[in-house]
Homo-oligomer: A and B are copies of this chain.
Amino acid sequence: MNRIRQLFGIKYPIIQGGMVWCSGWELASAVSNSGGLGLIGAGSMYSDVLREHIIKCKKATNMPFGVNLPLLYANIDEHIKVIIEEEVKIVFTSAGNPKIYTSKLQDHGIKVVHVIANKKFAIKCVESGVDAIVAEGFEAGGHNGIEELTTMCLIPLISKEVDLPIIAAGGISSGNSMLAAFSLGAEGIQMGSRFVASKECSAHINFKSKVIDSDDNETELTLKELTAVRLMKNDFFYQIKDAYSKNASVIELKKILGKGRAKKGMFEGDLKNGELEIGQVSALLDDILPVSEIMSQIILEYEEAVLRINKFKI
């Protein structure tokens, strides 16, 4: 029995993280068509763009897919209207309070999953009646919690605390790490970075190439005073770092960040001045593959890892 597979009606408990500028209908439908759960990342979309992606995704797959909805965005109510009108069945919410929208979405037959990074929010999820939790560790790319709890510590902590099915996120890119996540108590995994380095990802090729070329000391969690985010260390990152060393205020940090940085970096491929959100696990990625190959590699690796563990008597 696996509650995550049952909840979504999917073949493999592998979820593609909803990512700004990286996960449109092409990536989401490819993941769903390969037996996982694809998510359209609504965080970088206007509501009419989101509607377009949902419509295209419905045409591209008959399998379940969902939308990732960061609750901190200004046009949130409009997004929710589109999601309900287009009869999306699965929504992953993040970066906000799950109490506000969960029951509204569920009233329309939508399964709601909320992303958390500590115990306090896991308990809020239970109180809000969400259907599952994504527990995202410190090593994850993009927006993240400020407590710095790693996947290795967070998953056992949350699974001890709540009975809800848990999807592990952060540091997962292979069958081995999927097995590790299940060992820790998760029933599903969510991968972002691995799917950035895919053919179907909508990111600029410059960004994808940078991701697969990167080494083990090239990301850092920063901007905790605004919204904590794990970034690649490029010129823009060092500009922030420099501002910190001069005790920059929140207003100054916001000014440096400006508008459209993420689009500039990840979508337009400006590796110098753009914001490049990626996980620590990028150090492990070497190739840009079609989603179907990524999925079958992970399943194969997972099966091999289980065999290896069974041989490995302690």
- Which residues of A are at the interface with B, using a C-beta cutoff of 8 A? 2, 5, 12-13, 118-119, 137-139, 147-154, 156-157, 160, 170-174, 176-177, 179-185, 215-217, 220-221, 245, 247, 279-281, 283-284, 299, 302, 305-306, 309-310, 312, 314
Contacts and interface: CB of A to CB of B under 8 A. Distances in A.
A173 to B, nearest CB: 8
**Copies of the protein in its oligomer:** 2
5 contacts: A138-B148, A177-B183, A180-B184, A183-B309, A306-B310
Contacts of A184: 176-177, 180
Contact of A148 (B118, B183, B220, B299): B220
Contacts of A312: 2, 182
Which of A179, A180, A184, A280 counts the most chain B CB atoms within 10 A? Answer: A180
Contacts of A13: 314
A279 B181 CA distance: 19
A149 B148 CA distance: 12
Contact of A314 (B2, B183, B245): B2
Given A2-B314, A148-B280, A153-B284, 10 more contacts: A2-B312, A119-B283, A138-B139, A147-B216, A149-B283, A150-B280, A153-B283, A180-B181, A180-B184, A183-B183
B2 A160 contact: no
Q: A-B pairs with the 5 shortest C-beta distances?
A: A152-B171, A180-B180, A179-B183, A180-B183, A150-B150
Nearest to A313: B2
Contact of A118 (B119, B170, B172, B216): B216
A1 B12 CA distance: 31
Nearest to A148: B220
